[in-house]
Every structure is written in C-alpha cells, then in structure tokens.
Amino acid sequence: MTTDAIVLLKDDHKEILRVFRDFEKAGDGALKTKGRLVDRMIELLTVHTYIENEVMYPRVRELVPELEDDVLESYEEHHVADVLVTELAVMDPSDERFTAKATVLIESVRHHIEEEESEWFPQVRESLSRTVLREIGAAMVEAREKAPRRPSQPSALKKTIDAVIS
Ligand SMILES: [Fe+2]
Ligand SMILES: [Fe+2]
C-alpha cells in the first residue's frame, strides 16, 4: 500500500464526494438516510481536516514556502467547514435548516477539494520528492489513528478553539 501523501488525500476526497452525491440523490423525505449520510460526512471530514491540519499543511508550509497563501486559505476553508460540521452534528434531520446547511457544507467542501486537487497539490507534487511525500503520508496514517471522529471530541474542539482564538 502506498503512503504517498497526495494519493492518500485524494482517496479520502473520493470517498467524501461519494457521500455528498448519495446525499444529493436521497429524496426530500428520506430523513433517516440523510441523517446517516450526514453522520458519515461528519466523521470523514473531521478525520480528513485533522490529518491535513496536523500533518500535510504544516509540512507543505515549511517545505514549499511559495504555497504559504494557498495553505492559509485552505486552513480558513477548513474552519468554515468545521463550523458547519459542528452545527450539523447537533441538528436533527427534521430541522428545516438541516438540508440547507448540509448543502452549503457540500458546496464549500467541493470547492475546497477542487482547489486542493487542481491548484496546489500539483505544485506540491512537483516541489517534493516521492520519498518526502511518502514520509508525509506515513505521518498522516499515524495521525489518522488518533484523529477525532466527531467534532465534540476534545482534540477536535481544541482545533476549533485554536482557529477562533489565534
Ligand atoms: Fe483540505
Ligand atoms: Fe483535502
């Protein structure tokens, strides 16, 4: 199994986008299905943003300084997703704002993934050797094991508080 950082992150993206499509296909009245799919999104996004925030982004910032602005913008986009995820996590699918909020989350994360994959990951691939990308990937595999799975878990809350205060 490869641990190339970009391959790992793109695999995560694929899974996230699949859940987004399933949500969009679910009927208006399919509250149980939509609730389950949002729970899955929350878990996937909480883990994914954690490993990017903790490993990928700081390493890219350090090793590819010309991508500093892209990384900073991406941190902010994660923060917007965190806010929506935190709200959705305590919301019932029957709430009139539930589908609207999930839709805004989907739109903003799709845009974010698109920017990562087409704007700055290719530059990371060009700037770093395969060995370094594998090291970063291995560190992400390790980080994934202790990653929070719900926004209410302490390590996820700390992330949110850091983002708000700093
Ligand atoms: Fe990201
Ligand atoms: Fe990502």
* Alpha-carbon dihedral sign for residues 136, 150, 79, 97: positive
Query: What distance in Å separates the CA atoms of residue 105 and residue 88, rounded to the nearest whole number?
Result: 9
Query: What is the value of pTM for the model shown?
Result: 0.92
Closest CA to 75 of 54, 91, 95: 54
pLDDT of residue 142: 97
CA of 110 to the centre of ligand 1 (A): 10
Q: What is the pLDDT of residues 71-124, one digit of tens each?
A: 999 999 999 999 999 999 999 999 999 999 999 999 999 999 999 999 999 999
- Of 25-29, 105-109, 162-166, the one with minimum mean pLDDT is 162-166
CA of 42 to the centre of ligand 2 (A): 14
Residue 64: what are its φ and ψ, rounded to 5°? -130, 70
CA of 29 to the centre of ligand 2 (A): 30
CA of 29 to the centre of ligand 1 (A): 31
CA of 123 to the centre of ligand 1 (A): 15
pLDDT of residue 151: 86
CA of 56 to the centre of ligand 2 (A): 9
CA of 48 to the centre of ligand 1 (A): 7
CA of 49 to the centre of ligand 2 (A): 7
CA of 32 to the centre of ligand 2 (A): 27
Q: Pinpoint the alpha helices (H) of the chain.
A: 5-25, 31-51, 57-63, 68-89, 98-115, 121-127, 130-146, 154-165
CA of 137 to the centre of ligand 2 (A): 13
